[in-house]
Structure 1
Amino acid sequence: MLLPLLCVIAVPVAGQEPVGPGGYRWLEEGPFVGPLYMVISIERQMVHVYDGDRLVGIASVSTGMKGHRTPTGEFPVLQKREWHRSNIYSNAPMPFMQRLTWDGIALHAGHNPGHPASHGCIRLPYAFARKLFGMTQVGTLVSVTSDRLSPVLMVDALVVGDPGSAVVTFAPQAPVVLAQRDETAAPMLEVDPGIFRLRLMRR
């Protein structure tokens, strides 16, 4: 039997303005305290970069074209190489490569027309890829989605229904409880409304 999931979608209030093909924008200069993570939308051909619960950068991307689709899912960075060449596609250059899968999917600097044009990799504007490479580490999480750019926390009903269970933010400061349940209380959400607007959805 499939159990419903409680999805908490946090939508950043600012910084949602689109950038053109090959464009990018950093909303903060750092230092970044992390943890850092990215959300990539295939439909919108965009990446949003978060430092903890703050949106700090956005950029246009180019994902896999027809017949070479970029897979969706949650991927940790597996390997980083500043100067890398493809083992699959004619030794093609892949500067500032951050590997997401061992079968050839990676983030890297490359031609960025604002539409799907790669063989499955996620191409980034060159200057953006260079700075991002210096910010991440092996294990940095990357969420590749069909059409979403905001962070999503998915909590299984078994977790929400477990007395005493709690879900907390990734913020490096004192953790903020997002959802907690006991025998008498429903799950509660506590996020600074100045940072996020929240939508709750059940599926």
Structure 2
Amino acid sequence: MAFALRAFCPLLAFAACVALPLVARAAPVASDPIALAPGEYRWLSEGPWAGPIYMVISIEKQMVHVYDGDRLIGAASVSTGMKGHRTPTGEFPILQKRQWHRSNLYSNAPMPFMQRLTWDGIALHAGHNPGYPASHGCIRLPHAFARKLFDLTRIGTQVNVTTDRLSPALMVGTLVLEDPNDPSSAIVTFTPVEEAVLAERPALPQAAGKAERVPALKVDPAIFRPRLMR
């Protein structure tokens, strides 16, 4: 019996060595579908899209997520502003779109598929994407991604630039923007959103037999209006 066990032990050890890699191959660790290298992008849906289209850009993660309503439809690596030219955070509507554009601030640099976020030089556009903040404040996108995104958006599409968050946020409010120095600039008007009003509560029974009506509660829409932060 002892001899049989001694002879069988090497076989057990060999089987264990062979079985471990087989188990690892049978149950691989799923990779993050949105983990992207510098310059990479991914569309998770080819449409059609119901809208509204909305995007969130994370400075810390150097990523942009594009949403159709609350559904993630695309992601790409980005390059935001370097030290001394930090990309401003906040909620921005797209103010202007030009397929071929050159910077009037930085040596006439090309900015293909430009989508302007502020009138002082911040925009989305195709550009070099090294995987870290390297621009003068703009958000650089992979070229093919920028081209498709350009076709997908419109004047007024919301862009939320955050420190780290990539999840969508509430998009309501009314805002009109115009460049006083450019007569050809577009005036962006958001569709007014009605105030959220809670229904009046049922009358409360009173000792005297009379019911006192509680005033309806209202949410101040001003707190939801997008603000430009420079």
What is the TM-score normalised by the length of structure 2?
A: 0.61
Report the Cα offset of residue 182 of structure 1: 5.7
- Structure 1 CA distance for aligned equivalents of residues 69 and 171 of structure 2: 17
- Structure 2 CA distance for aligned equivalents of residues 78 and 154 of structure 1: 16
Which structure: greater helix fraction?
A: 2
The answer on 1:50 being equivalent to 2:67 is: yes
Is the 8 Å Cα contact of residues 95 and 108 (structure 1) preserved in structure 2?
yes
Q: Which has the higher contact order (CA 8 A, sep 6+)?
A: 1
Unaligned runs of 5+ in 2: 1-31, 173-194, 203-230
- Structure 2 CA distance for aligned equivalents of residues 149 and 182 of structure 1: 36
Report the Cα offset of residue 30 of structure 1: 1.0
Structure-1 residue corresponding to 2:83 = 66
Within the candidate set 186, 189, 196, 1:165 is matched to: 196
Unaligned runs of 5+ in 1: 1-14, 156-163, 167-179, 185-203
| Paired residue secondary structure (1:152) | coil
Deviation >2 Å, runs of 4+: 152-155, 180-184
Larger-Rg structure: 2
The answer on 1:103 being equivalent to 2:120 is: yes
- Structure 1 CA distance for aligned equivalents of residues 55 and 46 of structure 2: 16
Corresponding letter in the other structure for 2:166? L
Q: How many residues align?
A: 149
Corresponding letter in the other structure for 1:35? P
With over 3 angstroms needed to count, the CA separation of the structure-2 counterparts of 1:181 and 1:17, relative to structure 1, is farther
Report the Cα offset of residue 75 of structure 1: 0.2
Instruction: Provide the aligned C-alpha RMSD in A.
Output: 2.0
- Structure 2 CA distance for aligned equivalents of residues 181 and 104 of structure 1: 45
With over 3 angstroms needed to count, the CA separation of the structure-2 counterparts of 1:51 and 1:154, relative to structure 1, is closer
Identity %: 77
Within the candidate set 159, 163, 166, 1:146 is matched to: 163
